[in-house]
A and B are shown apart, each in its own frame.
Chain A
Amino acid sequence: MTHISVEINGQRVEREVDPRVLLVHFLRDDLGMTGTHWGCDTTNCGTCAVLLDGRPVKSCTVLAVMADGHAVRTVEGLEVGGELDPIQQGFMEEHGLQCGFCTPGMLVTGRALLDANPHPSEGEIREAISGQICRCTGYATIVRSIQWAADHPAGITNGQAEKEEVPA
């Protein structure tokens, strides 16, 4: 067993883990954080995506021990103080999910994209999620949902969407 100390959604977590345990199973089975989904197990589908030091990675292909000393952000870390992240609101507003299986991966990848590039083109959004599969094939609405979040960086507060001022 190896001792690891990982910052998960801003909180330090210390555990003893078998080195062969994958980050996705550490999150789901050891910590009970089932927001991150476990999908294809073969680095293809991307539903297990989490942010490792701010960049999206497939947690089925990262060992938990590799996250020792690093920061992990999962879908559970998007909501702050009861307010949904604009990316989550975008998926509600634009119907970005059907069955919901790919959603946690799409949400964290979308968040990372907007953190790095607040005004992405449609092509940049499609490129950013190109490592993730939606088997409902709802890509059009997923792209629109991320675009909505880009257009509303403050999200909806008090029930009102505040659209960013667009220069004429």
Chain B
Amino acid sequence: MQISAPFDYARATSVDDAIALLDRFGEESRLIAGGHSLLPMMKLRLARPEALVDINELAELSYIRDEGDHVSIGAMTRHHELIESPVLAQRFPIFADAGRVIADPLVRNRGTIGGSLCQADPGEDLTAVCIVLDTVVVLRGPSGERTLTMAEFHRGPYETAAEHNEILVELRVPVRPRSGSAYEKVERRVGDYAVAASGAAVSLAEDGSIAEIGIGLAAVGLDDRPAQAEAALRGQHPSDELIASAAKLTADAVDPIDDLRGTAEYKRHLAEELTKRVIALAIARAKGAQS
């Protein structure tokens, strides 16, 4: 039987209450949202927080709102809500693409977008999604709110810019004209972490050329966006050859490792193929959104 080490437990009644609880319990306390990463680690004693501050009751952090120039997503929005949201389906289909391949439906009933981003597992999907969409991260701490870019927030595997007593409260996804997005992942079986995954978001200029492009990958050792691949696409009119060459540049930028899920060579191949597909699909969706 896997049982975690003992811990103190408190249920937060508001964001400010959660921050106060984190300060009161001290450095060895942690927030718990859906808990589907943290609890398994605690059961294996890979994590031994002295106290958990439960934020599952914070309905104030559960929303998806279309604000015109951006969409605001509350940090406690659960994975199944990302999949079912009509606002996201219309604005950013990449959330449903990625949501459907996160773990399984039961896990998605508990998992949250804020929890996924703060856990920052290297095989996790929503970090790549938020990176390609130029998402702004809103953190709240004892002295108020601050906003960060994903590049500032996401520092690498299991590491973010959030301080111990800060809570990720909201994600703001900018809305761009003539835009499309897509995500594709290869997993060994349903519910497993990615062997490799790739996401892309594109917005087209009025003449049909690529105005903005974001590419992001999961599980292949690339925390930033592949700058050379994006530069090759920006300002160009899309073609199969152009997309293929950008996908090749992406494969050159990744740094996967051999592990149980596959060899580095196989993952590099997947990075190229999946990137090719998601760029093409994002462009097709952007064209569809034009009409």
Contact = CB atoms under 8 A, between A and B. Distances in A.
Interface of A: 2, 18-20, 22, 25, 41-44, 46, 49, 52, 55-58, 61-63, 65-66, 68-69, 109, 127-128, 130-132
Nearest to B6: A20
A18 to B, nearest CB: 7
Contacts of A49: 106
Contacts of B105: 56, 127-128, 130-131
B109 A43 contact: no
* Leading 7 A-B pairs by shortest Cβ distance: A131-B104, A19-B9, A131-B106, A55-B109, A130-B190, A20-B4, A41-B2
Contacts of B2: 41-42
Contacts of A22: 3, 39
Contact of A57 (B7, B8, B110): B110
Nearest to A55: B109
Contacts of B8: 19
B35 A130 contact: no
Interface of B: 1-9, 11, 35-36, 39-40, 42-43, 52, 54, 56-57, 80, 103-107, 109-110, 190-191
A133 B7 CA distance: 31
B35 A63 contact: yes
Nearest to A21: B3
A61 B104 contact: no
B148 to A, nearest CB: 29
15 contacts: A2-B9, A22-B3, A42-B43, A46-B106, A49-B106, A56-B106, A61-B35, A61-B36, A61-B40, A65-B54, A66-B54, A109-B106, A130-B190, A131-B104, A131-B191
Nearest to B190: A130
Contact of A68 (B5, B11, B104, B191): B11
B106 A66 contact: no
A56 B11 CA distance: 22
Nearest to A51: B109
A131 B103 contact: yes
A43 B9 contact: no
Contacts of B104: 46, 130-132
B107 A43 contact: yes
A71 to B, nearest CB: 14
Contacts of A128: 105
A18 B8 CA distance: 9
A25 B105 CA distance: 22
Contacts of B43: 41-42
A61 B190 contact: no
A42 to B, nearest CB: 6
A63 B103 contact: no
Given A41-B43, A43-B40, A63-B35, 6 more contacts: A20-B7, A42-B40, A57-B106, A58-B106, A61-B35, A61-B110
B88 to A, nearest CB: 19
Contacts of B190: 130-131
A131 B7 contact: no
B9 A65 contact: yes
Given A109-B106, A128-B105, A61 B39 contact: yes
Contacts of A63: 9, 35, 39, 54
A142 to B, nearest CB: 15
A69 B59 CA distance: 14
A20 B3 contact: yes
B56 A66 contact: yes
Contacts of B109: 52, 55-57
Nearest to B192: A44
Contacts of A127: 105
Nearest to B42: A20
A91 to B, nearest CB: 19
Nearest to B110: A57
B86 to A, nearest CB: 16
